[in-house]
């Protein structure tokens, strides 16, 4: 008998939980769901100490924690990225790791467009002026049509983002990378992309070589008056340098969905006070449709694994 533990809250409908629970029990196994975030490493160990399979979203599972889960055979990650999982340890111990790539491609791409339009139209300020019974104060926004959009990271999400910007009439540039085999858009060096783009949007994983991919030098090499959108990973950007570039108006604005830490952000977080920044609490993936797709993928992973185990 295998034990599966959903070790942190993962959005799902009650009907989906009941259906999965029924399927697992019919195969002779058990499943537990936790609806509160783990309060500590000790808490998550207590939840999972006898689990054969653990399901997490973005809770970090590092070696020091995994070593204490002696029954663990399989980790299911309700997320596209795996940078929060100690994959080296899992390989050493033969622990399978499965994730849910592609579930949020459309959601993240749409929020990228949303965040860009909010910057170009100064949406939050216009909302505040209207609530205060004021007019636009002479403000003029900008259009996406004709803007040069530089896309760094041309996987599924980057490609979908390019298609959406293209439909607005933007000129698309793609940052070169060995993984890019074909592109309907011009491929240029990252330095040229930063120097010539009106809008730069990030869609890369956090892996070796991508920490502070946008370093201080690269941020200040960006076209003056341009915008940065980050829906990838917080640590891909040197946020101290970004703050400085925003304060001195080298960049016109930025919209961020990801940070060095998961929200809620502390009250003294340096980017909170800037007028030319739009901050989201890590919501790019969070649509009803994406979450439904993710749960379906997790269900498939779990049940397939259990049936494989039964037949082996």
Q: Which residues are catalytic?
A: 233, 262, 282
User: For the chain, what is the total number of helices (H) and then of strands (E)?
Assistant: 11, 12
Residues 6 or more apart in contact with residue 143 via CB below 8 angstroms: 120
Does residue 46 have a cis peptide bond before it, meaning omega lies within 30 degrees of 0? no
Residues 6 or more apart in contact with residue 12 via CB below 8 angstroms: 291, 295
- Kind plus residue range of the DSSP H or E element containing 292: helix 288-311
Alpha carbon distance 153, 180 (integer Å): 9
Alpha carbon distance 234, 253 (integer Å): 16
CA 228 to chain CA centroid, Å, is 16
Question: Residue 235 has what DSSP assignment?
Answer: G
Is 162 in contact with 172 (CB distance < 8 Å)? yes
Alpha carbon distance 305, 312 (integer Å): 11
β-bridge mates for residue 200, sequence order: 150, 228
3-state SS assignment for residue 73: coil
Q: For residue 132, how many other CB atoms are within 10 A of its CB?
A: 7
- Kind plus residue range of the DSSP H or E element containing 253: strand 251-256
């Amino acid at each position: 008998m295998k034990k599966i533990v959903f070790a942190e809250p993962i959005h799902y409908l009650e009907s989906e939980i009941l259906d999965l629970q029924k399927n697992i029990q019919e195969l002779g196994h058990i499943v537990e769901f936790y609806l509160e975030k783990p309060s500590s490493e000790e808490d998550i160990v207590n939840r999972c100490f006898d689990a054969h399979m653990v399901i997490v979203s973005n809770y970090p599972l590092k070696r020091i924690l995994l070593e204490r889960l002696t029954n663990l055979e399989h980790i299911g990650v309700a997320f596209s990225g795996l940078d929060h999982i100690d994959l080296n340890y899992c390989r050493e111990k033969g622990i399978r790791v499965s994730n849910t790539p592609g579930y949020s491609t459309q959601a993240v791409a749409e929020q990228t467009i949303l965040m860009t339009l909010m910057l170009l139209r100064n949406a939050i300020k216009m909302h505040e002026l209207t609530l205060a019974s004021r007019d636009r104060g002479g403000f003029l926004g900008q259009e996406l049509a004709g803007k040069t959009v530089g896309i760094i990271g041309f996987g599924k999400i980057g490609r979908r983002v390019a298609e959406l910007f293209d439909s607005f009439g933007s000129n698309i540039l793609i940052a070169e990378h060995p993984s890019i085999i074909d592109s309907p858009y011009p491929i240029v060096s990252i330095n040229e992309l930063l120097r010539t783009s009106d809008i730069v949007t990030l869609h890369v994983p956090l892996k070796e070589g991508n920490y502070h991919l946008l370093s201080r030098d690269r941020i200040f090499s960006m076209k003056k008056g341009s915008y940065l959108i980050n829906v990838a990973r917080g640590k891909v950007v040197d946020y101290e340098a970004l703050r400085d570039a925003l304060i001195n108006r080298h960049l016109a604005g930025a919209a961020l969905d990801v940070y060095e830490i998961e929200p809620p952000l502390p009250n003294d977080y340096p980017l909170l006070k800037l007028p030319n920044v739009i901050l989201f609490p890590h919501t790019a993936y969070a649509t009803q449709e994406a979450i439904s797709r993710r749960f379906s993928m997790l269900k498939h992973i779990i049940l397939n694994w259990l049936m494989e185990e039964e037949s082996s």
